[in-house]
Chains A and B, each alone.
Chain A
Amino acid sequence: MEILIKNGYVYDPINKIDGEKMDIAVKDGKIVESVGSNAKVIDASNMLVMPGGVDIHSHIAGSKVNSGRILRPEDHYKDVEPRTTVTRSGVGYTVPSSYTIGYRYAKLGYTTVIEAASPPLKTRHTHEELNDIPLIDKTCYLVLDNNWIVLDYLSQGEIDKCAAFIAWILKALKGYAIKIVNPGGVELWGWGRNVESLDDQVPPFNITPREIVRGLCKINKILNLPHTIHLHTNNLGKPGNYRTTIETMDAVKDLADGKPNIHVTHVQFCGYGGDTWITLRSGAPEIAKYVNNHPHVTIDLGQVVFGEATTMTGDGPFQFILQSLTGNKWKNADVEAEGSAGIVPYKFKRKNFVNAIQWTIGLELALLIKDPWRVFLTTDHPNAGPFTEYPRVIAWLMSTKAREKTMERINKRAKKRSVLPSVDREYTFYEIAIITRAATAKALNLTNKGHLGVGADADIAIYNINPMEVNPSKEYKKVRKALRRAAYTIKGGEIIVKDGEIVKSFVGETFWVKPTMPEELEKEILREVAEKFKEYYTVSLENYIIGEHELARSRSITVNTSL
Chain B
Amino acid sequence: MGEIILKPKVAFKVPIIAETITPDNFAGKSIKEIEDLEAWEGNRKTTLGELFEITGAPGETPKDTKIIIEGDVKKVKKIGCKMTDGEIIIKGSVGMYLGEEMKGGKITVEGDADSWIGTRMKGGQIEVKGNAGDYIGAPYRGDTKGMKKGTIIIHGNAGNEVGCWMRGGTIIVKGNTGLFPGIHMKKGTILIEGDCAGRCGAMMKGGKIAVLGYVPSILPSFTFEEIKKSFKIKGEKIKGPFYVFTGDLNENGAGRLHVSVEKNKHLQFYEKFLE
A and B touch in the complex (CB under 8 A): yes
CA distance A71 to B141 in the complex (A): 10
- CB under 8 Å from chain B, chain A span 47-89: 71-75, 77
Chain A contacts for B143, CB-based, 8 A: 73-74
| CB-nearest residue of chain A to B139 | A74
Chain B contacts for A71, CB-based, 8 A: 142
| CB-nearest residue of chain A to B143 | A74
Smallest CB–CB gap between A4 and chain B, Å?
41
14 A-B residue pairs with CB within 8 Å: A71-B142, A72-B142, A73-B140, A73-B141, A73-B142, A73-B143, A74-B139, A74-B140, A74-B141, A74-B142, A74-B143, A74-B144, A75-B142, A77-B140
Chain B contacts for A72, CB-based, 8 A: 142
| CB-nearest residue of chain B to A329 | B142
| CB-nearest residue of chain A to B144 | A74
Q: Interface majority SS on B: helix, strand, loop or mixed?
A: loop
CA distance A72 to B139 in the complex (A): 13
| CB-nearest residue of chain B to A75 | B142
**Additional 11 contacts, C-beta under 8 A, given A73-B140, A74-B139, A74-B142:** A71-B142, A72-B142, A73-B141, A73-B142, A73-B143, A74-B140, A74-B141, A74-B143, A74-B144, A75-B142, A77-B140
Name the residue among B139, B140, B141, B142 with the largest chain A CB count within 10 angstroms. B142
Smallest CB–CB gap between A149 and chain B, Å?
38
Smallest CB–CB gap between B43 and chain A, Å?
11
- CB under 8 Å from chain A, chain B span 124-161: 139-144
A interface residues (Cβ-Cβ under 8 A, vs B): 71-75, 77
| CB-nearest residue of chain B to A76 | B142
Chain B contacts for A77, CB-based, 8 A: 140
Chain A contacts for B142, CB-based, 8 A: 71-75
B interface residues (Cβ-Cβ under 8 A, vs A): 139-144
CA distance A366 to B143 in the complex (A): 35
CA distance A73 to B140 in the complex (A): 8
What 9 pairs between A and B have smallest CB-CB spacing? A74-B143, A73-B142, A74-B142, A73-B141, A72-B142, A77-B140, A74-B140, A73-B140, A74-B141
CA distance A75 to B142 in the complex (A): 8
Smallest CB–CB gap between B122 and chain A, Å?
15
| CB-nearest residue of chain A to B145 | A74
Chain B contacts for A74, CB-based, 8 A: 139-144
| CB-nearest residue of chain A to B252 | A327
Chain A contacts for B141, CB-based, 8 A: 73-74
CA distance A73 to B139 in the complex (A): 11
CA distance A74 to B139 in the complex (A): 9
Smallest CB–CB gap between A464 and chain B, Å?
32
| CB-nearest residue of chain B to A72 | B142
Chain A contacts for B139, CB-based, 8 A: 74
Chain A contacts for B140, CB-based, 8 A: 73-74, 77
CA distance A71 to B143 in the complex (A): 10
CA distance A74 to B141 in the complex (A): 7
Smallest CB–CB gap between B144 and chain A, Å?
8
Smallest CB–CB gap between B76 and chain A, Å?
20
CA distance A77 to B144 in the complex (A): 14
Smallest CB–CB gap between A85 and chain B, Å?
16
Smallest CB–CB gap between A381 and chain B, Å?
20
Smallest CB–CB gap between A323 and chain B, Å?
14
Smallest CB–CB gap between A67 and chain B, Å?
13
CA distance A478 to B141 in the complex (A): 38
Smallest CB–CB gap between A83 and chain B, Å?
11
CA distance A77 to B145 in the complex (A): 14
CA distance A72 to B143 in the complex (A): 8
CA distance A74 to B140 in the complex (A): 7
Smallest CB–CB gap between A563 and chain B, Å?
48
CA distance A71 to B144 in the complex (A): 13
CA distance A233 to B144 in the complex (A): 33
Chain A contacts for B144, CB-based, 8 A: 74
Name the residue among A71, A73, A74, A75 with the largest chain B CB count within 10 angstroms. A74
Smallest CB–CB gap between B100 and chain A, Å?
12
CA distance A254 to B144 in the complex (A): 51
Smallest CB–CB gap between A382 and chain B, Å?
16
Smallest CB–CB gap between A234 and chain B, Å?
32
Smallest CB–CB gap between B117 and chain A, Å?
19
CA distance A102 to B225 in the complex (A): 57
Chain B contacts for A73, CB-based, 8 A: 140-143
CA distance A75 to B140 in the complex (A): 11
| CB-nearest residue of chain A to B140 | A77
Smallest CB–CB gap between A524 and chain B, Å?
50
Chain B contacts for A75, CB-based, 8 A: 142
CA distance A488 to B141 in the complex (A): 38
CA distance A73 to B144 in the complex (A): 11
CA distance A75 to B145 in the complex (A): 13
CA distance A75 to B143 in the complex (A): 8
CA distance A73 to B142 in the complex (A): 6
| CB-nearest residue of chain A to B251 | A327
Smallest CB–CB gap between A328 and chain B, Å?
9
Smallest CB–CB gap between A344 and chain B, Å?
14
Smallest CB–CB gap between A49 and chain B, Å?
40
Smallest CB–CB gap between A489 and chain B, Å?
30
Smallest CB–CB gap between A72 and chain B, Å?
6
| CB-nearest residue of chain B to A77 | B140
CA distance A73 to B143 in the complex (A): 8
Smallest CB–CB gap between B137 and chain A, Å?
16
Smallest CB–CB gap between A276 and chain B, Å?
22
CA distance A72 to B140 in the complex (A): 11
| CB-nearest residue of chain B to A345 | B142
Smallest CB–CB gap between B95 and chain A, Å?
19
Smallest CB–CB gap between B99 and chain A, Å?
18
Smallest CB–CB gap between B252 and chain A, Å?
9
CA distance A3 to B139 in the complex (A): 50
CA distance A77 to B141 in the complex (A): 10
Smallest CB–CB gap between B20 and chain A, Å?
18
Smallest CB–CB gap between B145 and chain A, Å?
8
CA distance A182 to B142 in the complex (A): 30
Smallest CB–CB gap between A77 and chain B, Å?
6
Smallest CB–CB gap between B25 and chain A, Å?
20
CA distance A71 to B142 in the complex (A): 7
CA distance A386 to B236 in the complex (A): 49
| CB-nearest residue of chain A to B141 | A73
CA distance A77 to B140 in the complex (A): 9
Smallest CB–CB gap between B98 and chain A, Å?
18
Smallest CB–CB gap between A309 and chain B, Å?
16
Smallest CB–CB gap between A307 and chain B, Å?
16
Smallest CB–CB gap between A213 and chain B, Å?
38
CA distance A538 to B144 in the complex (A): 38
Smallest CB–CB gap between A329 and chain B, Å?
8
